[in-house]
Structure 1
């Protein structure tokens, strides 16, 4: 689940703690193009205050207007969940800002004692992958452990939604670049850990919301046990720190393993990992370095943006053409141009 949906759960829990009436809205099905994916959530308080989103804004406005006019009871007069569909007709798609005639099916759920929302929030923030089953006929929610993240099914009677276990990012090195990268990664919804055994870098390194480790980076990799929802990026320029961490990370299912550095430094790193540590070719091929998408970045904030753009692209299953990667783009720019190459 992404950062926006995590914030929805946090907000729901806080509003219920204050005894406010809250409506939880979940996207359960889409047809055509849609601004938000299946599983996206929005919380709507009894006074019209909102957290999260399920569309580009127009559906939210419609629901807010109905709640402000008649309260949540205006939407759910029997106090039970129900499903609604927006955008079936072309004029509705235009009215509610749905692109290309898109259609959304939503489940509207009033939160109460049976909703187990505070327990759900606690489980999710403890990184426990949780299946939440809502019985539409009774409004009763059951929570249980799950094995597959981001799964959602809705058969009209039961809404099953798997939540939790967001994406993790392990950053090796606590330099200036790491600070910018961590701050942006948090906004992208990553659970961020920074590891650096060097006191001169870690002392004074403060980014709210991240985990700091002062152990050796390879120990951090082994302790974290990176899975398919984890990325590892090495930023220290120190082979004693970067190489061993990368060696262990490349043997895990981590969806992204990358390292900062020039093309020459990365070539030398690959050679070290192969010759001195016996890394297999298929494992070495997973190393992304120089890390990032080429945007002409020079400053730490720009480099952080370049690296995170690549990480997010890989996370989302986007194939990055070689000419877009840092190494490929710089190699292409270094080639002498020729009249034949420029001819159209």
Structure 2
């Protein structure tokens, strides 16, 4: 579940605490070109205020009208009664009417949030970095929460709908400098559970206030990587620009199941790093070839924020299985090492 959709549930919880009636709509299936994936959420308040999106087009207008009609009538559930299935774009004419791109088709589940206890529980569990599966019984409207597993996808069989909430992807950052702060903030918005490791005492205070979705890992970098048990949903990026710290993490990361391993540094730095790791730590050429360095896509980035965008963009590119240019040029080793060294995460 995308972090933006968790924010929809946060709005639902806040609205219900204020006494508003709320209708929730979930994308369950799509065909053709669809702007929002299965699991995307839209919430409609009784006064017409909305949160989230299921299509980005006129489908929202129709759903808002449906929800408000039911709520104005004093119904305890949406206009269709119990949780129900709504389809858009079944015919070419309907796709055109609702401006669905390329003849796309959406199937949605609409429900009333009469009891928001499950919303509060789900938000509390995801806030503590748990993966949570939410199962809706369409016949009764009952909701059940359970533990989810990494990689679990949305499931819909016509009778029950199970969606997964919480960060499915993990990002371990070695270093707590200004660049790490920017990378962490972007990654959290992209549904990554972000962890930061920096054993340097002068960075400890700033790590304590990293922000929502950002956690601290104590200890040395190599221990942090081993304890994380990196899998195919884990990315690891070394950003201290200090070989004594970065290399420790990379030695473990390059031998792990992490889908992405990157390190800050110029091309010359990376060549020296690979030679050092090969000679002193017996890492094979195959393992060293997994290292993304200089880290990030080639965007001509110079500032910490721009470089952070290039790094996260490359991680997403690799996550999505796309090949292509993945090396971002850096102007100089001095620029990388000095301009990005302020402890601010």
2:189 corresponding residue in structure 1: 187
Shift of 1:97: 2.6
Which fold has the larger relative contact order, with Cα–Cα distance below 8 Å and residues 6 or more apart in sequence?
2
- 1:110-129 map, 5 Å: 110-113=112-115, 116-129=118-131
2:224 match: secondary structure: helix
1:176 corresponding residue in structure 2: 178
2: CA distance, partners of 1:52 / 1:81: 19
- 1:1-344 map, 5 Å: 1-71=1-71, 73=75, 76-77=78-79, 79-113=81-115, 116-204=118-206, 207-209=210-212, 210-213=214-217, 215-319=219-323, 321-322=324-325, 324-326=326-328
* Most deviating of 161-170 and 25-34: 161-170
Q: Residues 217 and 313 (structure 1 numbering): CA distance in 2 closer, same or farther, change over 3 Å?
A: same
Shift of 1:40: 1.3
2: CA distance, partners of 1:201 / 1:2: 30
2:281 match: secondary structure: coil
1: CA distance, partners of 2:8 / 2:129: 16
1:219-249 C-alpha deviation (Å, 9 max, x unpaired): 2222333232221111111111000111112
1: CA distance, partners of 2:116 / 2:95: 34
> Is the CA contact (8 Å cut-off) linking 1:202 and 1:214 kept in structure 2?
no
Shift of 1:161: 2.2
1:342 corresponding residue in structure 2: none
1:48-72 C-alpha deviation (Å, 9 max, x unpaired): 2222211114222222233344427
- TM-score (norm. length: structure 1): 0.86
1:131 match: secondary structure: strand
2: CA distance, partners of 1:167 / 1:148: 8
> Where in structure 2 are there 5+ consecutive unaligned residues?
333-345
- TM-score (norm. length: structure 2): 0.85
> Where in structure 1 are there 5+ consecutive unaligned residues?
331-344
1:227-279 C-alpha deviation (Å, 9 max, x unpaired): 32221111111111000111112222222110011111111111222221122
1:85-142 C-alpha deviation (Å, 9 max, x unpaired): 0112233223323100111000001113387332233333333333322111111122
Number of matched pairs: 327
